[in-house]
Amino acid sequence: MGNSNSNSDALKRHIIIFIVLSLGVNLIFAGTYSPRSLYGSIPGGDLQSVWNNPAMIGQLETGDKGGLYLELHNDFRYDPNIAVGINFDIGSDLCLGFASNSSTLSSII
Amino acid sequence: MIAKGTHYTVATAISFHKYIDVSLGILGTYTDAVNELGESVDNQYMDAGINLEWPVLKTFNKGNFNLFNHQFQADIIPGMEYSFHDIFSNTTSNFIFYSKIALYDNTLNRNALSLSYSFDNIIGGFQAEIYNIFSIRFGRLYSFSVNKVGLNLTQLANDVLAAFKISDEDLKILKKIELRGSYGYFDDNACYALFLPIPELDYKSIYNLSISWKF
């Protein structure tokens, strides 16, 4: 019982230290932020759509060999936008993905 | 007058998922646009970046508990993305940080709850998903406010049919195909106008429909 309590206390201590360090590092690095580029996309913005694209990263589960993905949206200030992607489990805990999209932006000047 | 541009993107990424999730990606974009003077404008660039996530409690084999006859795995997952925009000419870089609190239901073998908050020094967004069915996202992401709710339609259909005692074998197709939809709005405001040389786009509804197939 005593051992279980001390493990629990140690875990709580680790979690608190981790949260404090994580927030601290986040705030320090966030301070080095560079201005965003002026054309259309925002640095990281396009890549973020790749990370978030289930065909690239999120969809594979144990036993799956790969996934295909098709998305239609008008998100991100673009008009009808289509994205397709495919990913493969290539072994050794590695996943390889490809994606492409096309989108049209229109704005009233 | 109306300015129009079409934006084509191809990307590839390789990711490693074990004690830590690491993804490396590269992306090329070509834009064919007409500016406010009616002149044709071409633009191309390449971005590269790395994304890191660390499921802390899972790494140390902690966070397991039982509740309502279900076995759960709780986790705290800090993540960050560091990317370089336009790597061959006017390179700029950017961090995005996020923190997730996740609860995985081992009994049902799916995510029970995921709460995440992403930010850099001027933007932040909150995202939540419950049992891989209902999601909500709001906050300032990418310099404008995005607010939407989403439904995983196949997961919902699967759960409703399972409640009527339809066998897992008959529901197999719903495990392989995922249809998701979301609806909401974004609201542009001063923050967006500050960084981009195009005028504010006011309130606009947004939709999203995606289908994926696992093989």
Q: What pLDDT was estimated at residue B109?
A: 83
Please tell me if residue A28 touches chain B, with a CB cutoff of 8 Å: no
Question: In terms of CA atoms, which chain A residue is nearest residue B83?
Answer: A44
The residues near B176 (Cβ < 8 Å, ≥ 6 apart) are B213, B214, B215
pLDDT digits (tens, 9 = 90+) for B22-31: 888 888 888 8
Q: What pLDDT was estimated at residue B143?
A: 55
CA distance A88 to A66: 4
Please tell me if residue B8 touches chain A, with a CB cutoff of 8 Å: yes
pTM of the model: 0.70
Question: In terms of CA atoms, which chain B residue is nearest residue A25?
Answer: B97
Q: What is the mean pLDDT of residues B71-100?
A: 82
Q: Which residue has the tokens 């709460």?
A: B115
Min Cα distance A1 → chain B (Å) is 17
The residues near A26 (Cβ < 8 Å, ≥ 6 apart) are B78, B80, B97, B99, B119
B13 with A56: Cβ contact below 8 A: yes
Looking at the DSSP bridge assignments, the partners of residue B198 are none
Please tell me whether residue B143 adopts helix, strand or coil conformation. coil
pLDDT digits (tens, 9 = 90+) for B135-148: 887 776 555 677 78
B93 with A43: Cβ contact below 8 A: yes
pLDDT digits (tens, 9 = 90+) for A26-57: 444 433 333 222 222 333 344 444 444 444 44
Q: What is the mean pLDDT of residues B57-77?
A: 89
* Contacts with B60 from chain A: Cβ below 8 Å: 14
- pLDDT higher than 50, residue B173: yes
- pLDDT higher than 80, residue B78: yes
Q: Which ipTM did the prediction report?
A: 0.76
Please tell me whether residue B122 adopts helix, strand or coil conformation. coil
Does residue B66 or residue B120 have the better pLDDT? B66
Q: What pLDDT was estimated at residue A34?
A: 30
Please tell me whether residue B125 adopts helix, strand or coil conformation. strand
Q: What is the mean pLDDT of chain B?
A: 79
Looking at the DSSP bridge assignments, the partners of residue A100 are A84, B10
Q: What is the mean pLDDT of chain A?
A: 59
Min Cα distance A2 → chain B (Å) is 18
Of B81, B92, B99, the CB nearest to A34: B92
- The identity of residue B148, as a single letter, is K
* Contacts with A18 from chain B: Cβ below 8 Å: 56, 76, 78
Please tell me if residue B6 touches chain A, with a CB cutoff of 8 Å: yes
Q: What pLDDT was estimated at residue B73?
A: 92
- The identity of residue B202, as a single letter, is D
B85 with A64: Cβ contact below 8 A: no
- The identity of residue A41, as a single letter, is S
Looking at the DSSP bridge assignments, the partners of residue B160 are none
Q: What pLDDT was estimated at residue A61?
A: 47
CA distance B53 to B115: 14
